[in-house]
Amino acid sequence: MTSPLPLSAVIITRNEADRLGRCLASVRDVCSEILVLDCGSDDGTVVLAQSYGARVEHQDWLGFAEQTNEAIRRATQPWLLLMDADEWLADGSDKNDRYARLWTEQRHEDGKRCSAISPWTHAAAYWPMMYLLRGAWRDGRQGWWFHANHARAVIRKYRHLHELRKSA
């Protein structure tokens, strides 16, 4: 398992116990901090959030914008993930594989073809353009991992496209 990102998941709640569990489970291993700013729940929301390791703080309702700004002020990590209690993070690997298959099948139907070396040439062309020329190296380790994962996705897409060409 990888270590959590320097990311605060910020969730504003009021009586969200029936929806909050899936949200907290999806961010628990990704975020270094989970902050739940509650404004007077009486349905077990606070206990549920604490059971997932969230830091729960109370703030009377100030209006959506001011409540969100207050939650942002209380977060301690350099990056923020603002979420509603009924939202969750999908498993990325499955989503990326489905996207890659859909993309390649659409390109194959449109007549796009590639050779066995195309996955590597496309990834090699992407890397200097995005990572070096557009300055992603300034994002440190997160920038490196983001672009390395994207290059892998490019390779996966073009490899699948080549397999479709061979099977046709």
Q: What is the mean pLDDT of each run of 10 residues along the chain (168 residues)?
A: 79 95 90 95 95 96 94 93 88 60 75 76 75 70 75 79 77
Query: pLDDT value at position 52?
Result: 96
Cα dihedral across residues 47, 53, 59, 62: positive or negative: negative
Global pTM value: 0.58
Q: Are residues 59 and 107 in the same domain?
A: no
Residues ≥6 apart with Cβ < 8 Å to 103:
157
Rounded CA separation 115/138 (Å)? 34
Q: Could you give the angle at the alpha carbon of 160 between the alpha carbons of 154 and 162, nearest 5°? A: 105
| The two structure tokens encoding residue 142 | 């997160």
Number of Cβ within a 10 Å radius of residue 6: 14
Helix (H, G, I), strand (E, B) or coil at 34: strand
Q: Are residues 14 and 58 in the same domain?
A: yes
Rounded CA separation 139/148 (Å)? 13
Q: Are residues 67 and 121 in the same domain?
A: no
Query: pLDDT value at position 43?
Result: 92
Residue where a domain stops, chosen among 18, 51, 83: 83
Nearest to 159 by CA among 100, 111, 110, 109: 100
Nearest to 20 by CA among 29, 9, 30: 9
Q: Can you give the residue range of the structural domain that contains 149?
A: 92-167
Burial (Cβ within 10 Å: 0-12, 13-18, ≥19) of residue 130: middle
Q: Are residues 28 and 71 in the same domain?
A: yes
